[in-house]
């Protein structure tokens, strides 16, 4: 997979050197089961047409520029992790566009002309609620009009679990209320962070990208994994404003050496007296208000 960073205004050089592709559109934080449906749909079309599969995401979350709702600066999958998952899913080209104030003002037709048709898209795949262009005026009913017949459009229907949309917002709400054990049903795996393990005996320090989205403070059962090693332990999240470092206490004596390429898997919240009641009720709203 090749990753191509793009800053607005997009250059003719990037456009002229782009390969014919099927383009998947979105931010894709977490690359959850809904996102995987988009990528898999686009991959099949790319295979059928003998084209490369491209995905377009943004270096910053649109909320960091668009003044509505919460500003998202922490991620379920920081960009490097998101890229790894895209590569595993068979994405050939990853366009990472800087989402700046200037880009946010680009009208929907101009975005299509310069960033979709301009990047040699022969077919575009996005989900039912994808929005693009100034004020989010472009949507999946507008895209076929803006295409002007220059590329095909596939709209992927909503993937739901328990009658609600599988979404990055939902995953963030589960993580920020300690319900990490529920992530699996929406992500297809547990919530994981990639990082570095250092330590000896029963404890280690796990260092990771501080832009990962942190669970609510409390004690968690976790699993530290690498290609040669796996052990369960406990860690305490003392603050969501963390320095990108956690101390893990293993449940058993563990022979391991420092690992650069390790994974911390969040298994479940270890209920304690303060959180137990609210966590058990699973009342997201009450918990969020108390934070």
Ligand X SMILES: Nc1ncnc2c1ncn2[C@@H]1O[C@H](COP(=O)(O)OP(=O)(O)OP(=O)(O)O)[C@@H](O)[C@H]1O
Ligand Y SMILES: Cc1cc2nc3c(=O)[nH]c(=O)nc-3n(C[C@H](O)[C@H](O)[C@H](O)COP(=O)(O)O)c2cc1C
Distance between CA atoms of residues 289 and 85, nearest Å: 33
Using CB under 6 A as the binding rule, whether residue 164 contacts ligand X is answered as no
Position among 27, 86, 95, 191 found at the interface with ligand X (CB under 6 A):
27
Q: Quick one: which of 38, 42, 83, 103 contacts ligand Y (CB under 6 A)?
A: 103
Q: How many CB atoms lie within 10 A of CB 81?
A: 20
* ∠ CA 69-74-80, rounded to 5°: 130
Nearer of residues 10 and 193 to ligand Y, judged by Cβ = 10
37 binds, among ligand X, ligand Y, none (CB under 5 to 8 A by kind): ligand X
As a dihedral over the C-alpha atoms of residue 48, residue 49, residue 53, residue 57, rounded to 10 degrees, the angle is: -110
Asked if residue 118 lies in contact with residue 10, where contact means CB atoms within 8 angstroms, the answer is yes
**3-state SS, residue 263:** strand
Residue 126 contact among ligand X, ligand Y, none, beta carbon within 5 to 8 Å by kind: ligand X
Cross-strand bridge partners of residue 70: none
Segment interacting with ligand Y, rule: CB under 6 A, options 76-84, 131-139, 184-192, 216-224: 131-139
Taking the complex as a whole, the smallest distance from the CB of residue 204 to ligand X amounts, in Å, to: 33
Binding mask 79-118 for ligand X (x = CB under 6 A): ----------------------------------------
Residues 6+ away with beta carbon under 8 Å from 236: 217, 218, 219, 220, 246, 247
The verdict on 217 binding ligand Y (CB under 6 A) reads no
Task: Select the residue interacting with ligand Y from 30, 133, 178, 218 (CB under 6 A).
Answer: 133
Residues at the site binding ligand X, with contacts judged by CB under 6 A: 25-29, 34-35, 37-38, 126-130, 156, 158-159, 165-169
């Amino acid at each position: 997979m090749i990753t191509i960073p793009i800053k607005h205004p997009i250059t003719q050089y990037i456009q002229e050197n782009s390969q014919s592709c099927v383009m998947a559109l979105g931010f894709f934080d977490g690359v959850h089961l809904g996102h995987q449906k988009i990528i898999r749909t686009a991959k099949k079309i790319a295979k059928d047409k003998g084209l490369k599969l491209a995905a377009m995401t943004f270096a910053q979350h649109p909320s960091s520029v668009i003044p509505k709702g919460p500003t998202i600066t922490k991620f379920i999958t920081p960009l490097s992790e998101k890229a790894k998952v895209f590569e595993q899913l068979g994405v050939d080209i990853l366009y990472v566009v800087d989402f700046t104030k200037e880009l946010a003002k680009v009208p929907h037709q101009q975005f299509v002309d310069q960033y979709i048709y301009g990047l040699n898209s022969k077919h575009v795949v996005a989900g039912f609620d994808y929005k693009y262009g100034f004020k989010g005026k472009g949507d999946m009913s507008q895209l076929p009009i803006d295409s002007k017949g220059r590329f095909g459009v596939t709209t992927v229907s909503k993937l739901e679990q328990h009658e609600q949309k599988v979404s990055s917002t939902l995953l963030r709400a589960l993580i920020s209320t300690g319900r990490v054990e529920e992530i699996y049903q929406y992500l297809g795996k547990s919530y994981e962070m990639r990082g570095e393990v250092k330590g000896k005996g029963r404890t280690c320090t796990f260092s990771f990208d501080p832009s990962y989205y942190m669970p609510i403070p409390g004690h968690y059962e976790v699993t530290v994994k690498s290609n040669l090693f796996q052990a369960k332990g406990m860690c305490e999240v003392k603050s969501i404003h963390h320095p990108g470092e956690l101390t893990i206490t293993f449940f058993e004596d563990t022979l391991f050496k420092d690992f650069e390429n390790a994974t911390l898997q969040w298994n479940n919240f270890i209920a304690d007296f303060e959180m137990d009641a609210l966590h058990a009720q699973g009342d997201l709203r009450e918990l969020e208000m108390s934070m």
